[in-house]
């Protein structure tokens, strides 16, 4: 069996439901992520996406089950796993540059000051922040710029795994588009593994190698793993003309609009719950006909 870089094994999360009972968010969820893969997860509000991400980050303990990275069980936060939250979480008293160098200094303790600054400046430039602007404090930056700083900070630390929880949720559509493309650029240059939560179907198709689809909770399931059969590099304006784009999009819309509810609330009965792989590719040639069938057809033509 192929070993994944990140392996989520029989993850179960329950919480007290506030009325003396128990809320089972998900049960026995199992899936894997390969090294260098960009995986997005889509699902309705409250199904448990952030809960999964917090466990992957080591920020919270699951009720049962285990997450393994490179074969080692995740326990507690680590510099090997970078997290970008929706609210940027920059340090307000530090400049953009210092927000980035802060983490690099913690990770690479023997680097010289110049090397740290050079490294941070390079990552800020990758997200389009150059010149005087990098010396501004977060309060002097726009929302989009702040989000770029937090992406540069996460990538600059070169974590093995990058976890993004709706990182562009608060941005307007235009800024969002620019930053998505910057994120793709940085990712393709660094080959880091990314797990990203989003509510935006088009964003997920643009960015992901695979999209995990989650049913509604409680007892939510990661029900499908949809491969994005659109070649890279991808540019928003071009991918919409690819023959697979709307076929994949329709599948995702159907799932979120209908099947996520129909499949909701199914208990695992102790079984490990892995997503079904889905591959939609309209560009694939039709399968070769069976030789017997060809012979029969030839006979029919000749007779
Ligand atoms: N610490 C907690 N205590 C009790 N219940 C919790 C806790 N954290 C999350 N939940 C519940 O678990 C469920 C999943 O929450 P989670 O935040 O993972 O959802 P989500 O899929 O990220 O939603 P959204 O898209 O709105 O961010 C929700 O019903 C939520 O109320
Ligand atoms: Mg969430």
CATH of domain 6-80+159-302: 3.40.50.300
Question: Where does the chain hold its CATH 3.40.50.300 domain(s)?
Answer: 6-80+159-302
Write the secondary structure of 74-142 as one string of H (helix), E (strand) and C (coil).
Answer: CCCCCCCEEEECCCCCCCCCCCHHHHHHHHHHHHCCCCCHHHHHHHHHHHHHHCCCCHHHHHCCHHHCC
pLDDT tens by residue, 272-303: 999 999 999 999 877 777 777 666 666 666 66
Ligand 1: residue whose CA is nearest its atom 3: 15
User: pLDDT (tens digit, 9 = 90+) per residue, 170-182?
Assistant: 778 888 888 898 8
Q: Supply the pTM of this predicted model.
A: 0.90
Neighbours of ion ligand 2 (CB under 5 A): 50
- Indicate if ligand 1 lies below 6 Å from the C-beta of 241: no
How far does the centroid of ligand 1 lie from the alpha carbon of residue 19, in Å? 16
Of the CA atoms within 13 Å of residue 224, those in its CB half-sphere come to 21
Q: Would you say residue 2 has pLDDT above 80? A: no
State the residue for tokens 């029989």.
Answer: 10
- Would strands 22-33 and 72-73 be described as parallel, antiparallel, or unpaired? unpaired
> What is the structure's pLDDT at 214?
97
């Amino acid at each position: 069996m192929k070993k994944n870089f990140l392996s989520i094994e029989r993850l179960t999360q329950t919480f007290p439901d506030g009325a003396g009972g128990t809320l089972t968010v998900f049960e026995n969820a199992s899936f894997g992520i390969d090294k260098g893969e960009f995986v997005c997860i889509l699902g309705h509000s409250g199904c448990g996406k952030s809960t999964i991400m917090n466990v992957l980050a080591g920020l919270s303990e699951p009720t049962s089950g285990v997450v393994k990275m490179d074969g080692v069980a995740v326990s507690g936060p680590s510099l090997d796993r970078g997290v970008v939250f929706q609210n940027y979480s920059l340090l307000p008293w530090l400049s953009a540059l210092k927000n980035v160098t802060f983490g690099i200094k913690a990770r690479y303790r023997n680097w010289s000051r110049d090397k740290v600054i050079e490294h941070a400046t390079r990552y800020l430039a990758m997200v389009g922040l150059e010149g005087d602007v990098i010396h501004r404090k977060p309060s002097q930056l726009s929302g989009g710029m702040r989000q770029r700083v937090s992406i540069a900070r996460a990538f600059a630390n070169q974590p093995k795994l990058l976890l993004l929880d709706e990182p562009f949720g608060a941005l307007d559509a235009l800024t969002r588009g620019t930053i998505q493309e910057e994120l793709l650029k940085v990712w393709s240059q660094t080959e880091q593994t990314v797990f990203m939560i989003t509510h935006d179907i088009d964003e997920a198709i643009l960015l992901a190698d695979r999209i995990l689809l989650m049913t509604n909770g409680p007892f939510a399931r990661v029900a499908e793993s949809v491969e994005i059969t659109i070649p890279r590099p991808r540019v928003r304006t071009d991918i919409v003309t690819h023959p697979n784009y709307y076929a994949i999009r329709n599948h995702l819309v159907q799932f979120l609009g209908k099947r996520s509810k129909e499949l909701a609330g199914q208990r695992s009965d102790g079984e490990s719950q892995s997503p079904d792989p889905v591959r939609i590719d309209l560009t694939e040639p039709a399968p070769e006909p069976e030789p017997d069938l060809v012979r029969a057809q030839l006979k029919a033509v000749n007779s």
